[in-house]
Amino acid sequence: MKKIEFKKLGETIYYDECECGLPIYLWVNERVSNFYATLSVKYGSIDTKFKVKDKEYTVPNGIAHFLEHVKFNESADTTAHDYFNKLGASINAFTTFEYTSYEVYGTENLKEDVTHLLDYVYTPYFTDKATAKEKGIIIEEVKMGANRPTQQLYYQMNNNLFHQDNRRFLVTGTEEDVKSITTDDIKLVYNTFYHPKNMFLVITGNFNPYEIVSLVKEVMRKKNIPKYLNPVKIYAKEEESVVNKEQDITGNVAIPKIRISYKIPKKRFKKYSDLDTLTYLRLLLNANFGATSDLRADLLEKELITKLGTESYIVGDYVIISLVCETKYPHELEKILINAMNNLSITKTRLSRRAKCNYAEGIYGFDDIEYVNTMVQDFIIHFNGIDNEYFERIKNLNIDIARDILKSIKLDNYSILTMEPEE
């Protein structure tokens, strides 16, 4: 077993791998009495086109989420919920653009819970009856999501930003997408992607890591794992321009909402890793729009905003920066926020202060088993592995790098989306 050490924090993440290829990440906190286990597959809602050997496949939007739902069925009469409820454990699952995760949370019976988590995820049970049943449930979920203004705003902005990227489409798929999914589609995706070599297990809590690794290896050794098909995901080339520069829509809101998003080619930050790029960008945004920024204080004092937030993330070859605002004066705020983005600044003092805050948040985060579990998942999915020097680099951020990244930001390619209350 290998150790991934955060030396300055005094924290260790244990790593091992089963013979079948399943990676195992473990973090021990002896101060807690609970545990959090997640089994994740690197398959999400954007992965609708792929190739196996020389054959290409296209599956309906929403199938990753549909598979997540139907996977809880263990037989015609039982579900995974039934089993875990008897053990006093809480189970859930979620699907994102990039991956799907099955999770178990409890205070006792860790070994039995982890064993069954592996058993039900790696035991296929798919029937036309189960597929038909889930369609009704998921369609209701789709309808509920359609009435959520935040979701509407987010996906409509994605449609304004992206010409080809599948983030334009709901994770759940539309009602028509859900209706079109077949049991054969589900089996195809499961058999292609739900392989230990395309998955990873993360467990955080109070336990003996060596005992848990031995247990997982023993459980997986008994399973008849087929040969990995090595699928290749296929994504369309995304254009640099945005689809819509500006759009006004209506929604179920009491106060207008604004979303201003910038689409910046990642190649502008090629000197830096994705993780470092996002780290500095988020610090820059926080310094200029965060809770202690002069702009935010001024806008609140003048009652021009009720909420203001920022986002930054990477989509393929692009860095996306978003400002999200709730205001009674949307068009006035648009001008103010765009002007602020065009005049971003950072000082050594403010950078240092923000870095210390982020470092402290990281230290405190290691008291939370869910925080660490999510952190590990994020590292694996978005940055291809755990960076054990990350918090040290946060603590020692370089003002010259911050200014270099600031200079590299290109802000001429953006979209403005405003949601006004329905009449």
Average pLDDT on 33-51 reads 97
What's the chain's average pLDDT? 95
| Distance set, CA 63 to CA 23, 72, 124, 174, 190 (Å) | 25, 15, 16, 11, 10
pLDDT value for 185: 98
Contact in structure between 284 and 406 (CB atoms under 8 Å): yes
Which architecture does CATH list for 2-233? 2-Layer Sandwich (3.30)
Tens digits of per-residue pLDDT, 274-330? 999 999 999 999 999 998 899 999 999 999 999 999 999 999 999 999 999 999 999
CA dist 353 and 355 (Å) reads 5
40-44, 67-71, 75-79, range with the lowest pLDDT: 75-79
| Distance set, CA 339 to CA 32, 284, 336 (Å) | 48, 15, 5
pTM above 0.75, yes or no: yes
Closest CA to 23 of 421, 379, 418: 379
| Distance set, CA 192 to CA 200, 230, 231, 237, 289 (Å) | 16, 8, 7, 23, 44
Buried residues in 301-339 as b, exposed as e (16+ CB within 10 A): eeebbeebebebebbeebbbbbbbbbbebbeebbebbbe
CA dist 171 and 162 (Å) reads 16
Which letter does DSSP use for residue 73 in this model?
Answer: B
CA dist 89 and 109 (Å) reads 8
Q: Per-residue pLDDT for 395 more than 90?
A: no
Domain 246-421 has CATH 1.10.10.10: no
Q: Per-residue pLDDT for 155 more than 90?
A: yes
Q: Scan for tokens 């089993």, then name that residue.
A: 83
Average pLDDT on 140-158 reads 92
Under the banding of pLDDT at 50, 70 and 90, the label for residue 190 is: very high
pLDDT value for 76: 87
pLDDT value for 98: 97
Beta bridge partners of 205: 28, 35
Tens digits of per-residue pLDDT, 205-232? 999 999 999 999 999 999 999 999 999 9
Pairing of strands 11-17, 232-233: unpaired
> How many degrees, rounded to 5, is the angle at CA 341 between CA 335 and CA 345?
135
Say which amino acid occupies 81.
H
CA dist 358 and 351 (Å) reads 11
pLDDT value for 144: 87
Q: Per-residue pLDDT for 355 more than 90?
A: no
Closest CA to 213 of 28, 351, 380, 413: 28
Q: Any residues with CB less than 8 A from the CB of 144 and at least 6 apart, and which?
A: none
pLDDT value for 231: 98
Tens digits of per-residue pLDDT, 242-266? 999 999 999 999 999 999 999 999 9
Token digits of residue 289: 């729009």
pLDDT value for 206: 96
Question: What string of DSSP letters covers 158-227?
Answer: HHHH-SS-GGGS-TT--HHHHHH--HHHHHHHHHHH-SGGGEEEEEEESS-HHHHHHHHHHHHHTS-PPP
pLDDT value for 356: 86
Q: What percent of the chain has pLDDT over 70?
A: 100
φ, ψ for residue 253, nearest 5 deg: -130, 150
Listed in order, the ranges of the chain carrying CATH 3.30.830.10 are 2-233, 246-421
Q: Per-residue pLDDT for 146 more than 90?
A: no
The one catalytic residue among 11, 19, 56, 68: 68
Residue 45's SS3 state is coil
Q: What percent of the chain has pLDDT over 90?
A: 90
Tens digits of per-residue pLDDT, 83-134? 999 989 999 999 999 999 999 999 999 999 999 999 999 999 999 999 999 9
Average pLDDT on 373-381 reads 96
Pairing of strands 23-28, 11-17: antiparallel
Instruction: Please confirm, yes or no, whether 68 is among the known catalytic residues.
Output: yes
pLDDT value for 160: 98
Average pLDDT on 144-166 reads 93
From the CA atom positions of the chain, what is the Rg in Å?
Answer: 23
Under the banding of pLDDT at 50, 70 and 90, the label for residue 51 is: very high
